[in-house]
Structure 1
Amino acid sequence: MNKTKEVLITSFALFSLFFGAGNLILPPFLGYTSGNDWFIVTIGFAITAVLIPILGILAHAKLQGTMFDFGKKVSPLFSSIYCFLVYLIAISLPAPRTASVTHEIAIAPFFNNSTLLTSTIYFALVFVFVINRSKIIDLIGKFLTPLIGIILISIIFIGLITSPVAVSHTFLEAPIVNGILEGYQTFDAIGAVVVGAVIVISLNLKGNNTYYDRKELISKSGWIAGAGLLVIYAGLILCGSLFQSEFSEDATRIEVLTGLSNFTLGHFGTLLLSVLVALACFTTAVGIVVGTCDYVKVLFNNSQIAYIITAILSCIIGVLVGSYNVGFIIEIALPALMFIYPITIVLILLNVIPEKYASNLVFRVVVLITFIFSIPDFLKFLIPEEKIQSIIDIIPLANYSLGWLIPAFISFIFVNFYAFNMKKNI
């Protein structure tokens, strides 16, 4: 296989592994709520749903190991706990959510069956793909992604040329912050550290033996996949804002997405959207479960039995959680996201920058500060917010659920300044 073809197939696979339930239902709704501030919202959304995830892929291109390598500079114990939490969250929330979205959009309009039956069949198929591990990139990159792309581009193109002329007002108080936080709900930063490892192992299985060949392939594929995600997100957000007047003020995420497909593709759009949702969600679920199984397999000395058992347990969790509705899963995901997302973003950034700015000490201090200052962000989803409001008020950006950002940046500058001064004095 020539390099260009391999880069494209890997890019398509990455795009599909990223583009799942949240990536499909969140942008149109974000556009609907943003109205004439759609561009500002897109910038915020792109930071957490495109830029950070692609930097995560670049970090994998540099490390070429497992997710454990992302946190090992903090300490092996921290990295082990971090990996356990990320994989647990991934198989308990974003993976099952793909089954729930598939049921509500692709199955419920046509069949009167229970969500439990849908999630059971869905994860049975996921299991089949996960067991056929060595063929993942080709199956997804060659066949599934082109279908997803064609349907998405059709919805966006027709939406742009047939939409109402006027763009309405925004419902959002801080559009860029709303975009950033809604980007959390895609789980793509977490997805990057999970599926990036899937890509690395897949390339190893295919015989891409040199470090630099793999680094170049993964890096190029990451940027191409990122560009594709950005175009699709921007298009869906813009379409959501253009069709804002067509929806009621209490429209749900699912209603906006299905309405948009009907406005652009007519009644046939319902069928096409069903196919799109099923494909987009399925590829993401496969990527998450494969990533989890790969990691557990390494922990148990490349045991195939450990891989299969993990696949079975992941799919059982998927069946059970996936039987709940999308809104419920999104709601219960918020505390977990506010806890793990800031740490994940910081680990991605520290692993991408040059080594001289990312010593073990920098990792330890910045991650610790990030964790401490993100505590109010996830606590307010677990306890009455007024109990911690006095703390939130004194932390910059904490009212926007970004209280960790400035302290993490300051600690990064301070520790590097301290380290360079220590070197000069030696």
Structure 2
Amino acid sequence: MNKSLSTFDVLGLGFMTFAFFLGAGNIIFPPMTGFLAGEHLPSAMAGFLITGVGLPLVTLVAAALAGGGLPTMGRYLPPLVITVMASAIFIIIGPAFAAPRTGLVAYEMSLKPFLTDPGQAALTLYTLGFFGLVLLVSLNQGRLLDAVGKVLTPILLLLLIGLALAVFISPQGTQPPVSEAYLTDPFVKGFIEGYNTMDTFAALIFGMFILDVLRDKGVTDSRTQSRYLMIAALIAAVGLGFVYVSLFILGGTSLGVADSATTGAEIISAYVLSLFGAPGLWILAAIVSLACLTTAVGLVSACADYFHRLTDKLSYRIWVVINALACMLVANVGLDTLITVSVPVLVAFYPVAVALVLATYLRPLMRSPIFSYRLIMAVALAFGIMDGLHAVGLSMSTFALLPMFDIGMAWVLPTCIATVIGLAMPANAVKGKA
């Protein structure tokens, strides 16, 4: 029998979805972008909000319409392609970028501000201890994590609300000058910076998790599930938008407070120190450390569980060890380096996620969905990789005539053309109809 959720349960589902996306790593990018954008902050913030909030929202809605996450949305693609896509997403949000970033953000905001001469040795020891603890908790998947998570998310949210109100009421600095990167096309620069949240990738996976939660609560009707998932996505989007806007304003009023900062973590730490003094810095350190820990445990556990089910040769615990060790090693490159390395990868593969969401929305208009999906995804991947290679610094002058090539979005026009071709393709043009 299909059950309905109470208003309290719906709100709880929305806040749970918000907590899924609100990793502590996400907190570091808006302040840095706001600091660098200067007087162009509104344009850069608008671009960032599209990829940092808008894309995850429409991705979850697409998952709701499709009745599931990545496997359901990509059902017109070959099974091997879906497996490769899922593996790539888990690697990106796992040991390659997102999970190591949690340890680095925890270090930057909970230990580094208290060190007089922080060096590589301090980072190595911290990441060894941090991911060692992640390893122990992930191995047992105990109730401790659930308890900490239920207490932590409201506390972190209250802290962010308090920080946001303080920023609006009592800004601590003035507006920084515009950096060179934001002099031209600040909107597009902010749009690409929003890739760093990796939340569109995560939304392809979270859709499945949220539907599982709804089934556990007795919600079995697909339309009801979709409606609740959409409401949860909207609540999460509003929460993320509030957090991002306040942190943008924080970064945009930090001249004189964090002039020498090179990361968003340093900007927030300096701002909190200026607002609340040393006690505020200690509280921020404790909360961010716990937030990073729970996020890291969730990512390591999810990756280990996925690859265990995919290979069925190595046990879950062995995959936990592999993932935790990989995270510790990657984290030692430092936050600046990790962000720099991740940008070309995200520029290359974000278009694929966007193309999949676009195809999902347009599916009712497709007469030959198998051909259309494969064409759209192939074009988005090919030109996304080209943009990624360009972001690395390789010469791609052959494609310089493409619109938006110089700003890392050459994939847009070819993908739109492929979409039009896919929509125009008759049903009997290729073998196999869905």
When the two chains are superposed, the root-mean-square deviation of aligned CA atoms in Å is: 3.1
Are 1:348 and 2:352 counterparts?
no
The within-5 A match list for 1:253-402 is 253-299=264-310, 306-357=315-366, 359-382=369-392, 384-385=393-394, 387-388=395-396, 390-402=397-409
Contact kept? 2:36, 2:178, Cα under 8 Å? yes
Distance 1:47 1:177 in 2: 10
For 2:399 and 2:269, the matched residues in 1 are separated by 38
1:84 equivalent in structure 2:
87
Residue 55 of structure 1 is matched in structure 2 by: 58
TM-score (norm 2): 0.85
Q: How many angstroms does 1:181 deviate by?
A: 0.8
Q: What is the match of residue 212 of structure 1? A: 223
Evaluate the alpha carbon distance shift between residue 198 and residue 12 of structure 1 in structure 2; reply closer, same or farther with a 3 A threshold: same
Say yes or no: does 1:161 pair with 2:161.
Answer: no
| Residue identity matched to 1:75 | P
Inter-CA distance 263–126: structure 2 relative to 1 (3 Å threshold): same
Q: 1:211 Cα deviation (Å)? A: 3.0
* Alpha-carbon distance in 1 for matches of 2:146, 2:242: 23
Corresponding residue for residue 118 of structure 1: 126
For 1:225 and 1:262, the matched residues in 2 are separated by 29
* Aligned-pair CA distance for 1:277: 2.2
Indicate how the Cα distance of structure 1 residues 206 and 275 shifts in structure 2: closer, same or farther if over 3 A, else same.
farther
Which whole-Å CA distance do the structure 1 matches of 2:190 and 2:251 have between them? Answer: 14
Amino acid at match of 1:69: T
d(CA) in 2 for partners of 1:63, 1:297: 26
Spell out, residue by residue over 1:388-413, the C-alpha distance to the aligned partner (whole angstroms, 9 max, x if none): 2x224211111111110121112212
Greater shift, 107-116 or 250-259, is seen at 107-116
Contact 2:258 2:271 in 1 (8 A): no
SS of the aligned residue for 1:396 comes to coil
Contact 2:36 2:176 (C-alpha < 8 Å) held by counterparts: no
Change (3 A) 1:144 1:414: same
CA distance in 2, matches of 1:414, 1:140: 50
Unaligned runs of 5+ in 2: none
Q: Work out whether 1:101 is the aligned partner of 2:105.
A: yes
2:43 paired with 1:40: yes
Q: How far apart are the structure 2 equivalents of 1:165 and 1:245?
A: 5
Corresponding residue for 1:221? Answer: 232
User: Which amino acid in 2 is paired with 1:332?
Assistant: V
Partner of 1:74: 77
Shifted more, 207-216 versus 52-61: the winner is 207-216
How far has the Cα of 1:143 moved from its partner? 1.9
* SS of residue matched to 2:204: helix
* CA positional deviation for 1:137: 10
CA contact (8 A) 2:27 2:264 kept: no
Which segment drifts farther, 200-209 or 286-295?
200-209
Query: Unaligned regions of 5+ residues in structure 1, if any?
Result: none
Q: 1:197-220, CA deviations, whole angstroms, 9 ceiling, x for partnerless residues?
A: 333344445554443343233221
Q: Which moved more, 1:166-175 or 1:88-97?
A: 166-175
- Figure out how many residues of one structure are paired with residues of the other and give that number: 418
Fraction of identical pairs, as percent: 27
* Paired amino acid for 1:416: L
From 203, 212, 233, the equivalent of 2:244 is: 233
One-letter amino acid of the structure 2 residue matched with residue 54 of structure 1 = L
Residue from 165, 169, 185 that aligns with 1:174: 185
Q: Which piece of structure 1 moves more, 393-402 or 8-17?
A: 8-17
CA distance in 2, matches of 1:116, 1:197: 35
Say if 2:32 and 2:251, in contact at 8 Å, map to a contact too: yes
SS at match of 1:114: helix
- Most deviating of 82-91 and 200-209: 200-209
Contact 1:370 1:408 in 2 (8 A): yes
* Contact 2:363 2:369 (C-alpha < 8 Å) held by counterparts: no
TM-score by length of 1: 0.87
Q: Is the 8 A contact 1:69 1:79 kept in 2?
A: no
**For the residues of structure 2 that align with 1:273 and 1:232, how far apart are their CA atoms?**
15
| Contact kept? 2:28, 2:263, Cα under 8 Å | no
Which secondary structure does the structure 1 equivalent of 2:113 belong to?
coil
Instruction: Identify if the C-alpha distance between structure 1 residues 366 and 101 changes in structure 2 by more than 3 Å, giving closer, same or farther.
Output: same
Is the Cα–Cα contact under 8 Å of residues 134 and 202 in structure 1 kept in the other structure?
Answer: no
* Cα drift, residue 272 of structure 1: 2.6
